[in-house]
Each structure stands twice: as C-alpha cells, then as structure tokens.
C-alpha cells in the first residue's frame, strides 16, 4: 500500500511542479519516446534473465504493492504453531509428527495456521528439518549447517529478481539518452521547417531523457530496493525458525525454544514475552486460524 502511495506522490509532485511553472502537460505525452524506453527496457530484461527470474519479478512486485505480511500477528501465529507442534513431539515422540511432516497439507496443526501453510518455503524448511530429525543420527551442529545452507540458497534465489530489476533501473537513463539522440536525429532532418515543428521535436527528444531518469530514480529503482527489503524480511522469518528448531533439537523445553525464537524476531514486530505466553497457551486451535 505504501509503495502505491509513494508512486502517486512521485508522479504527482513531478507533474504538479511542471504545471506550476505553466508547463503544457501534453508536451510530456510522447508515445514514441515511451515506446523506445519501455520496449528497450523490457527487451533487455528478457535478454538477460531466464523465465523463473521473470516470474520471480512479477511475484515480488505483487508482494511489494500488497505490503509486508510479516506482522507481529504473523509471528505470534508462528510461535503458537511451533509451541503446539513441539509439545506434541515432547509428549508423544518424534514419530508422532511423521505424518504431519510427510503430508503437511493434511496436518491438523498446520491447517490451523493457513498463513504458514501458504508459505511453501517456510513450510518446506520446517518439514525438511524435522524429517531429518525423525530419521535420526544427525548431530544438531550438522542440522544447523543444513538449515543455514537452505536459508542461503533461498535468499540467493529471492535476490535474483531484485538484481535483475536493479540492472534495468541502471539502464533506464542510458535508454533515455538513446531516445533523446533519436529525437535529435529527427530534429536535424526537420531543419528549415517551421520553428514550431522544430521546437516540438526538440521537446520530444528532451522528454526521452526526462522519462529515462524519472523511471530509474522515481519508480524502478525504489521498487527493486523494496523487493530487496522484502527478501531480507523473509530471511529473518526463516532465521526465527532456525533458532527455534535448533534449540529444541538440542534438548530445550518447547517454551524455552519458543522464547529463543521470539528473541530472534526483529524488534519492530517482536511480541513481548507476556503476549507470546498468553497467545501460545490459549486453548483451541480455532482462534489461531481466525487470527491468521
């Protein structure tokens, strides 16, 4: 939501300032310049990136426009779910959650928390870790190494769309110059004509440079920066799971493991210990599902 507001402010401020200086808005409407810059930008994006990165860019942009979902409530749901899950393991043993791990979409625990069930990266992270724990014979240190490796691979994949969009942002001023140069070429061919026509063509050429710079620093660059922050936020989410699971695998009680996970939550969305304890010990799973 804030991204959309920011985009409106950027373009509103630029257009508003132009109009305040008695500028004629139709002069900025240059479809040919926009086609050159937009088409060339899209073409470079297609040339430089495989399909999975292009899909990642679209998914990441949707996430940026929708806003962050990793709120305090989302973390409370996570802590409650893991508290229920680890208590089940503590009381009935690791084998009691084998079906939950193998078929998470049929698990009564996971189904009570649809926000977590819909996050396939986090779901796979938990299930793969517990699957190795059920298999046995894996030292907690090695388990931690596997979780860290999983997080690194996921974060690298999450930043690939960011790098691709940043490259496009960096190229936009240059593509604006290309559009401007083509406009100058057209202007040179019109020398000797009416001054109004030459002035219009010069203005069109300058609009190309203007659009390239504006789209770079006012739209595409900020969007890629926001995407990078979103990737970092999800990595923080996985880090909480890593700390929590490792503490339990080392023998800590569920409430201690949950508290260690809470301490790993970023301060801006970290619940207090009292909030966590009260929420985790609420009876029934329905309340968690509604909260999600």
Q: Which two tokens stand for residue 222?
A: 């900020």
Q: What is the pLDDT, as a whole number, of residue 183?
A: 87
- The two most distant CA atoms of the chain are separated, in Å, by 91
| Distance of alpha carbon 178 from alpha carbon 37, whole angstroms | 8
Would you say residue 16 lies in a domain? no
Separation of alpha carbons 132 and 94, rounded Å: 11
CA nearest neighbour of 94 among 137, 57, 145, 53: 137
pLDDT at 175: 93
Q: What value does the mean pLDDT take over residues 206-226?
A: 93
Residue 284 has pLDDT above 50, yes or no: no
Q: Distance between CA atoms of 115 and 70, rounded to whole angstroms?
A: 10
Residue 151 lies inside a defined structural domain of this protein: yes
- Tally of structural domains, the chain: 1
Residue 31: closest CA among 211, 189, 216: 211
Confidence (pLDDT) at 67: 84
Q: Tens of pLDDT along 47-60?
A: 999 999 999 999 99
Would 230 be classed as within a structural domain?
Answer: yes
* Domain membership flag for residue 259: yes
Whether 9 is covered by a domain: the verdict is no
Residue 229 domain flag: yes
The answer to the question of residue 145 being in a domain is: yes
In this predicted structure, the answer to whether residue 155 has a pLDDT above a threshold of 90 is yes
Domain containing 151 equals: 32-291
Q: Characterize 31-45 residue by residue with b for buried, 16 or more Cβ atoms within 10 angstroms of its Cβ, and e for exposed.
A: eebbebbbebbeebb
Residue owning tokens 């995407």: 227
The sign of the CA dihedral 106, 111, 114, 116 is negative
Express each pLDDT in 250-263 by its tens digit.
Answer: 989 999 999 999 99
pLDDT bracket for residue 196 (50, 70, 90): confident
Domain contains 20? no
């Amino acid at each position: 939501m804030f991204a959309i507001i920011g985009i409106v402010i950027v373009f509103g401020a630029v257009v508003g300032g132009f109009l305040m200086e008695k500028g004629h808005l139709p002069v900025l409407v240059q479809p040919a310049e926009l086609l050159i810059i937009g088409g060339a930008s899209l073409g470079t994006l297609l040339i430089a990136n495989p399909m999975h990165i292009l899909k990642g860019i679209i998914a990441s942009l949707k996430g940026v426009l929708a806003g962050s979902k990793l709120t305090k409530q989302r973390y409370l749901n996570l802590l409650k779910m893991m508290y229920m899950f680890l208590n089940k393991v503590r009381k009935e043993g690791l084998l009691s959650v084998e079906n939950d791990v193998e078929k998470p979409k049929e698990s009564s625990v996971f189904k009570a928390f649809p926000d977590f069930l819909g996050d396939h990266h986090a779901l796979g992270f938990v299930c793969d870790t517990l699957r190795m724990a059920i298999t046995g014979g894996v030292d907690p240190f090695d388990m931690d190494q596997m979780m860290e490796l999983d997080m690194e691979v996921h974060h690298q994949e999450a930043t690939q769309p960011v790098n691709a969009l940043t490259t496009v942002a960096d190229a936009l001023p240059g593509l604006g110059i290309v559009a401007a140069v083509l406009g100058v070429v057209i202007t040179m061919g019109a020398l000797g004509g009416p001054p109004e026509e030459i002035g219009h063509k010069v203005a069109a050429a300058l609009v190309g440079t203007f659009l390239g710079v504006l789209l770079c620093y006012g739209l595409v660059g900020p969007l890629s920066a926001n995407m990078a922050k979103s990737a970092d936020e999800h990595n923080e989410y996985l880090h909480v799971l890593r700390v929590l699971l490792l503490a339990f695998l080392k023998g800590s009680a569920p409430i201690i493991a949950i508290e260690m996970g809470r301490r790993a939550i970023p301060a801006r969305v970290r619940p207090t210990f009292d909030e966590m304890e009260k929420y985790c010990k609420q009876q029934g799973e329905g309340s968690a599902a509604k909260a999600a």
